[in-house]
Amino acid sequence: MHYWKLLALIFVPCLIAQEPAFTPGGRGGPNQGDKGITAAIAGAKEDPAAFERGAKAYAANCGGCHGATGRGSVGAPDLVRSLLVLDDEKGILIAPVLRNGRPDEGMPKPNLSEEQIADIVAWLHVQTYSAGHRSTYAFMDVLTGDAKKGEAYFNATCKGCHSATGDLKGIGARYDAFALQARWLQPRGGRGGRGGASPSSNKPVTVTVTLSSGEKISGTLDRVDDFSVSLRDSRSDYHSFTRDGATPKVEINDPMKPHTDLLGKYTDPDIHNMTAYLVTLK
Amino acid sequence: MRFLPFFITLASFAQGLTPAALLKPTPDSWPTFNGDYSGRRFSPLAQINASNVHTLSLAWATRFTAGGAGGRGGLSIKSTPLLVNGILYFTSPNNVWAADARTGRELWHYQYPPNTGSTIGNRGVGMYGNWLYFETPDSNLVSLDASTGKQRWKVSIADPKLDYTSTVAPVVVGNHIIVGIGGDHLDNPGFLQSRDPETGALQWKWWTTPRKGEPNMDTWPDEYSSAHGTGQAWIPGTYDPELNLYIVGTGNPNPVMAEKSRKGDNLYTCSIVAINPDTGKLAWYFQPSPHDVHDWDAVETPILFDGVIDGKPRKLVAQASRNGYFFVLDRVTGKNLVTKPFIETVNWAKGIDAKGQPIADPKKFPTTDGVLVSPSSNGATNWPAPSFDPETGLFYVGTSRSYSMFYLTDTDDHPEGWGGLDSGAGNDGNALLAIDYKTGNTVWRHDWPSGNGVVHNLSTAGKLLFTSNGNNFIAFHAATGKILWHASLMAAPSAGSITYMVDGKQYVLVAASDSLYAFTVNQPAK
């Protein structure tokens, strides 16, 4: 049993990219635990100290041919995509190669202790785990925009609903930059992506149902499809109606709709500038 | 005597399903993934029709149990059932069932042993004679006896250590069992294989990316990047018996979002390819997404039909692709005839080239600080089945006007795996579209008030289009887009619906999560 693969099945919600995973908030997003190499070490179930020692031993003995990140170079194979490495458990396959080299294929016999071999094995397992598991991927640098331009954009576009000294006061302190960018773009949280913002408690969607008698019932939308609509009124009483085409009349008001409407209007610099501005609202 | 009625019917189907019968399936059956080779998911049955569909009612519903890992998050039937001689055959990962199409009663249940393959989904079985063919999460092809569900043999089609996983419903063409695979986390090579129906032996293998000395190697920087370029064909293709071409879509290139090490068009990823099923040789290709960086697999069913474009009768193939564009090709040559976006929010292309392929805008390639792209990585549509109705001339597809931020996370000169992340940024709405194949224009649309829009479709000669929204299974008038009937199920439909006739009665069958539901008109028009 490959424990890291078993773990992958348990902890990684989506192993292959085929299908939408219709989970709010996406995967591997900001503020969801450790990322990068720390997550890969944990995911691969390797000892962090062995990994650290392995990194040094690899760099000193292997990196010259196989590349600093193990991804190969001319004449030396990519170890991260290596079947032997992928098939390995606890060094059973890798260790003989590290002990003896592969003279017939041009790999000299390295001079490594058994401890160093075990450490390099740990380092290699973390590399393959890291490449193959999006849950470990770390965002890099989102603060590339111009805060001044972001402020101007904010004043021109967002001030109808938001205030830097009111509802958004301190927002730059509440989220890291990636979470903030995801959240201001889509406050309800994205769907189906891989790294979206977490769902939030924003203003609810409201609905008004006008019966054929003219009576209007309004409240917080509970559920709507082509065949029924239900809501909770201001006393939290539940109302449910059968829909038949345009009867009864159903009017839905989503206070977050301006965010969705703006998606087709932003340029990418607008987005980066806005994020650069919003992080300054400490 | 649970199996007695089944054994009584044995004599009538001992001959099973001949490859010749697949060329002209009887109208009462559903013997392949798409019902027939064309991929239209159009049934000539009309006992259930626009005049009486309002009386459509439940004939039976059956819940099935897997007794093991039948799919992530519980048993989910994502397979299109086959219906042959009154028996339904359907799957979930690691599981195959046979059930009586008249009653929904389980006849047998085959369980594949526990393994480490991904249980994201399984699209169903293929049938040849009295044998069924089934792909497993750990990439074996299993042959079962359709009468008993007993395993005949299994053969490995890919190494699961490379994180391959297999979900495809095998396609039977003559004496070929055509299989594909999935998995794109470790830059593993993509391929199609043809297997011998009796032994499982390999007949041919077609790599989805070129190897040394082959044409179009120059769409990759080098042999190594091509060999690790992926392009998995994870949805069954369609087949034109006259041209003897198997036409199938391929998936995204790898590394998925980090394109630095794979400059070029990256053929034949994100492509529609036509393969000779006897030789495994490529006849033509068309690439919906040259140099994809957004995970937009072009695996959506390429539907075959004949039509008239520019006054000329033509043999056509059409695809509503995950990247948001609708394409119509001449399927004799692969030459493009129509290219048109089918969602309004598409923002990733600079234009259309002379071949009819969208030109990717490098400004929308993933960056470390993110770019906003529509559609999202899940696409404007996805694997759920489209349908083409030859009587209305309309192509039906479930769509989503979605957005994602695409981030680059691997800036190494040799990125690997995904090399990036995407973050859902919202959705401008979901709609069912009926598209005129001649122009790509939407003739009618239905905007959903809620729920997922990327859903399965089935059209019939009863002037009906069956689809779903949330838990609702819905019949539309195929020509007008008016809703005529619906039923709310216990879960959202999870696979393409089918229709069939047994004992003179037409059924419409749909899988939703762990259950099958069969509907009939109980008071046929006199």
Q: Using DSSP, state whether B148 is helix, strand or coil.
A: coil
Fold of A147-201+258-278: Cytochrome Bc1 Complex; Chain D, domain 2 (1.10.760)
Q: Give residue-wise pLDDT tens across range B485-525.
A: 999 999 999 999 999 999 999 999 999 999 999 999 986 55
Q: Does the pLDDT at position A19 exceed 90? A: no
Rounded Cα distance between B331 and B349, Å, is 25
A266 to A260, A263, A273, B245, B487: CA distances (angstroms): 11, 6, 11, 44, 40
Same-fold call for A36-136 versus A147-201+258-278:
yes
pLDDT higher than 50, residue A204 = yes
Q: How far is residue B137's CA from residue B135's CA, in Å, rounded to a whole number?
A: 7
| Model ipTM value | 0.92
pLDDT in tens, B329-346: 999 999 999 999 999 999
What pLDDT is attached to residue A33? 54
- pLDDT for residue B161: 82
Which of B79, B159, B373, B405 best tests the A interface by mutation, with the highest count of A CBs <10 A?
A: B405
Domain edges within chain A: 36-136, 147-201+258-278, 207-251
pLDDT in tens, B435-484: 999 999 999 999 999 999 999 999 999 999 999 999 999 999 999 999 99
CB contact under 8 A, B405 and A193: yes
| The pLDDT of residue B28 is above 90 | yes
Q: What is the pLDDT of residue B72?
A: 52
Pull the structure tokens for residue B399: 């769509």
| Burial class (CB within 10 angstroms; exposed 0-12, middle 13-18, buried 19+) of B404 | buried
Cα separation, B495 vs A147, whole angstroms: 48
The C-alpha atoms of residue A105 and residue B465 are separated, in whole angstroms, by 61
pLDDT tens track for B5-24:
444 444 334 457 988 899 99
pLDDT over 90 for what percent of chain B? 89
B67 — pLDDT class (breaks 50, 70, 90): low
CA distance B256 to B262: 10
Q: Taking CA B452 as the corner, what is the angle to CA B445 and CA A157, rounded to the nearest 5 degrees?
A: 80
User: What is the model's pLDDT at position B524?
Assistant: 53
Going by C-alpha positions, the residue among B385, B476, B390 that lies closest to residue B49 is B476
Q: How far is A263 from chain B (nearest CA, A)?
A: 8
Nearest CA in chain B to A79: B416
Contact B233, B166 (CB under 8 A): no
Under 8 Å CB-to-CB from A105, ≥6 apart: which residues?
none
> Are B426 and A185 contacting, i.e. CB atoms less than 8 angstroms apart?
yes
Mark yes or no for CB contact A225/B448 under 8 Å: yes
Phi, psi of B168 (to 5 degrees): -70, 145
DSSP B190: P
- How many angstroms separate the Cα of B67 from the Cα of each of B158, B169, B439? 26, 22, 49
Asked whether B34 and B80 are in contact (CB, 8 A), the reply is yes
Do residues B440 and B340 lie in contact, with contact meaning Cβ atoms separated by under 8 Å? yes
Find the residue in B nearest to A185 (Cα): B425
What is the mean predicted confidence (pLDDT) over A192-199?
41
Tens-place pLDDT, residues B260-303: 999 999 999 999 999 999 999 999 999 999 999 999 999 999 99
Task: Give A 96-125 residues with CB within 8 A of chain B.
Answer: none
| More confident call, B8 vs A205 | A205
CB pairs under 8 A between A and B: 223
* Active site members of B: 295
Taking the Cβ of residue A194 and every Cβ of chain B, the question of whether any pair is shorter than 8 Å is answered with: yes
- Most B-contacting residue of A263, A265, A271, A275 (CB-CB within 10 A), to test interface: A263
Residue B340: both structure tokens together: 């048109």
Domains of chain B: 4-521 (2.140.10.10)
Eight-class DSSP state of B129:
B
pLDDT above 90 (res B132): yes
Give the model confidence (pLDDT) of B377-431 as tens digits. Answer: 999 999 999 999 999 999 999 999 999 999 999 999 899 999 999 999 999 999 9
Contacts of A134 in chain B (CB under 8 A): 185, 417-418, 421
Residues 253-272 of chain A whose Cβ lies under 8 A from any Cβ of chain B: 259-261, 263-264, 266, 268, 271-272
Shortest distance between the Cα of A26 and any Cα of chain B, in A, equals 6
Instruction: Show the tokens assigned to B114.
Output: 């526990």
Which residues, at least 6 apart from A130, have a Cβ–Cβ distance to it below 8 Å? A36, A37, A40, A44, A136
Q: How far, rounded to the nearest angstrom, does the alpha carbon of residue B496 sit from its chain's CA centroid? A: 9
Q: What are phi and psi of B165, to 5 degrees?
A: -145, 155
Q: Are B472 and B482 in contact (CB under 8 A)?
A: no
Residue of B514, B524, B525, B521 whose CA lies nearest to B61 = B514
Q: Which residues pair with B389 in a beta bridge?
A: B394
Mean pLDDT, residues A104-114 taken together? 93
HEC profile of B224-235? HHHHCCECCCCC
- Which of B76, B193, B60 shows the shortest CA–CA distance to B512? B76
CATH architecture of the domain formed by A36-136: Orthogonal Bundle (1.10)
- 3-state SS of B74-117? CCCCCCCCEEECCEEEEEECCEEEEEECCCCCEEEEEECCCCCC
**Any B CB within 8 A of A43 CB:** no
Paired residues of B239 in beta bridges? B246
Helix ranges restricted to H, B141-187: none
pLDDT at B215: 97
In chain A, what is the straight-line distance between the N-terminal and C-terminal CA atoms, in Å? Answer: 49
| Confidence band for A194, pLDDT divided at 50, 70 and 90 | very low
Interface membership of A185 toward B (CB under 8 Å): yes
Q: What sign for the dihedral angle of Cα B280, B283, B287, B293?
A: positive
Non-local (6+) Cβ contacts of B11 within 8 A are: none
Q: How far apart are CA B73 and CA B471, in angstroms?
A: 17
User: Is some CB atom of chain B closer than 8 A to the CB atom of A78?
Assistant: yes
What pLDDT digit, counting tens, does each position of A221-239 carry? 999 999 999 999 999 999 9
DSSP string, chain A: --HHHHHHHHH-S-SSSSS----BT-SS-TTSS--HHHHHHHHTT--HHHHHHHHHHHHHHTHHHH-TTS--BTTB--STT-HHHHH-STTTTHHHHHHH-BGGGTBPPP---HHHHHHHHHHHHHHHHHHH-GGG--------S-HHHHHHHHHHHTTTT--TTTTTTTHHHHS-HHHHHHHHH-TT--BS-SSPPPP---PPPEEEEE-TTS-EEEEEEEEE-SSEEEEE-TT--EEEEE-BTTBSEEEEE-TTHHHHHHTTT--HHHHHHHHHHHTT--
- Determine how β-strand B349-352 pairs with β-strand B358-360: antiparallel
Instruction: Supply A72's token pair.
Output: 């190969």
- Euclidean distance between CA atoms B36 and B400, whole angstroms: 27
Whether B421 has its CB under 8 Å from any CB of chain A: the answer is: yes
Q: Are B520 and B59 in contact (CB under 8 A)?
A: yes
- Confidence tier at B234 by pLDDT (50, 70, 90): very high
* CA A266/CA B195 separation, integer angstroms: 51
Q: How far is Cα B367 from Cα B348, in angstroms, rounded to an integer?
A: 14
What digits encode the pLDDT tens for the residues B71-80?
555 789 999 9
Give the mean model confidence (pLDDT) for residues A264-281.
97
Asked if residue A85 has pLDDT above 80, the reply is: yes
pLDDT (0 to 100) of residue B10: 41
Dihedral angle, C-alpha B300, B302, B303, B307, nearest 10 °: 130
The half-sphere exposure of A126 on its side-chain side, counting CA atoms within 13 A, is 27
- A203-207, B7-11, B186-190, B495-499, range with the lowest pLDDT: B7-11
